[in-house]
Homo-oligomer: A and B are copies of this chain.
């Protein structure tokens, strides 16, 4: 037990993966509670949100998903689901509560880092590292949205997936410059959670093609009229 705990604390992947599993299972289950699903449905949405991103990562790099082979993953997932049910018994609407919003940002950062670590180990391209980090971070929530028949596109448009892209890029740059490890992992997580919480607080938006078109028209188009 002590050995296990020690190996987890010294392994950046294990730390990030564990944090992400609890945080995203909580977020997914809270979403299902708001939809008034039964306890089985709450558990399924919680576990899907926690597991699908990592399982997709593992399938893409040619491994059997960790969630299917390790009992640690399902244990941490059930902890997250139980926390969401407990929060519901204490709070009014856990889905909108700051605890859930912060959990979501933490889960996003933790899974971005876990995905980037696995991708760099596997030896994919720089784009592959950023893509796998982002899929690991966003895949579970997107799949849960698809199951719930909601457009997962809010994840792309709402400065959410872009935080994972920034974090994954950070990890890749640091891994190339100084080597993969705890420092790269900590900075990747910090960039992701920082940009996400900043975006939630200040409502960041990226330019659209329409606004680029308007800017181009404004600069070059006026003279000819």
Q: How far is the CB of A19 from chain B (nearest CB, A)?
A: 20
In the complex, the answer to whether A212 meets B152 with C-beta atoms within 8 Å is no
Given contacts A40-B162, A148-B153, A149-B150, are A209 and B68 in contact (CB under 8 A)?
no
In the complex, the answer to whether A41 meets B157 with C-beta atoms within 8 Å is yes
For the complex, is A132 an interface residue (Cβ under 8 Å from B)? yes
For the complex, is A8 an interface residue (Cβ under 8 Å from B)? no
In the complex, the answer to whether B128 meets A205 with C-beta atoms within 8 Å is no
A119 contact set on B, CB distance < 8 A: 68
For the complex, is A203 an interface residue (Cβ under 8 Å from B)? no
Complex formed: what's the CA distance from A62 to B131 in Å? 19
Complex formed: what's the CA distance from A212 to B37 in Å? 12
> Which residues 12-70 of A sit at the B interface, judged by CB distance below 8 A?
33, 36-42, 44-45, 55, 59-65, 67-70
In the complex, the answer to whether B156 meets A149 with C-beta atoms within 8 Å is no
Q: How far is the CB of A63 from chain B (nearest CB, A)?
A: 8
Chain A residues packing against B (C-beta within 8 Å): 33, 36-42, 44-45, 55, 59-65, 67-71, 73-74, 85, 88-89, 119, 122, 124-128, 131-132, 142, 146-153, 156-157, 161-162, 165, 205-210, 212-213, 216
